[in-house]
Amino acid sequence: MIRTGQNRNVFVVNVFRDGPGGGNPAPVVLDASAMTAEAMREQAAQYGHESAFVLPGRDGCDLSLRFFVPNHEMEMCGHATLGTVWLLRHLGLLPERDVTIATLSGMVTARMTEEGPAISQLAGRCELVDEPSAVLDVLGLRKSDLEDLPVMNAATSRTKTLVPVRSRAILDSIVPDFSGIADVCDAVGSTGLYPFATVDRAAVTLAARQFPRSSGYPEDAATGIAATALASCVRQLGVTSSTRVTVHQGEAMGRPSKITVTFRGDQCWLSGHVELLEGTIK
């Protein structure tokens, strides 16, 4: 069991930064045992970011995490998990071994690597979106804007709708009809739209943008579970057999981010840079 004491100080970490102003912040509460779900949601709304709340372990895991965005609870949040693992390790609150974490989407294994913290996800699933016209319409795209790949729903935890566009220029020029995104996501069974473009096919480098269904903000600078879903899907479609996929996100927002997905057997591992924004590590 991870013991944090009765300290509910909030630390804010920044995850996946790939340049000035980049990355995705995540407030982390070290001991949320006394907090209600509504108090957690209110704190996420106060900060305006996905937030992680550390709780005692359950189901044999070392610790548990709950995740909230300003509007609701999430089953899983990749960057907030990475940030929490990095923070607990630097505070001396994690053992020097792999750590198991209970989340609403299942157990996650975390470890420290030379590139920083990494967390496991299942290799993922993907399925065809039979009629993608509404997805294209809400993103302001035409069929001629698409790469020669299908629009897919993919998931390693929460489902994201992957929309392959022909170029980085098309990706960066997307201006969605934000008022229609929630209805379109509901219609296709998704929690967000994730258009992407190939940047370097040989190096398996992709660029993407995330427009969430109803998180309380219009666009996300770095979405770890969307990146793992994307990496899993392009492998399953035969686009690449590489065991390493890099996804850049956030550039169109002026918040450049880099997400790394590595495959080992039937698991993929999500990793990226983490740094402290607020709080003190003694």
Q: What is the pLDDT of residues 137-152, one digit of tens each?
A: 999 999 999 999 999 9
Torsion of CA 5, 7, 9, 14, to 10 degrees: 10
Domains belonging to the chain, first-starting first, are 10-122+271-278 (3.10.310.10), 125-264 (3.10.310.10)
Statement: residue 279 has pLDDT above 80: no
Give pLDDT, residue 6: 44
How far from the centroid of its chain's Cα atoms is residue 222's Cα?
6
How many Å apart are CA 231 and CA 127, to the nearest integer?
A: 14
- Reported as type and span, the H/E element at residue 243 is none
pTM of the model: 0.92
What DSSP assignment string belongs to 178-240? Answer: GGGHHHHHHHHT-SEEEEEEEEETTTTEEEE-BEESSSSSS-BS--HHHHHHHHHHHHHTTS-
Return the C-alpha torsion angle 154, 160, 163, 168, nearest 10: -110
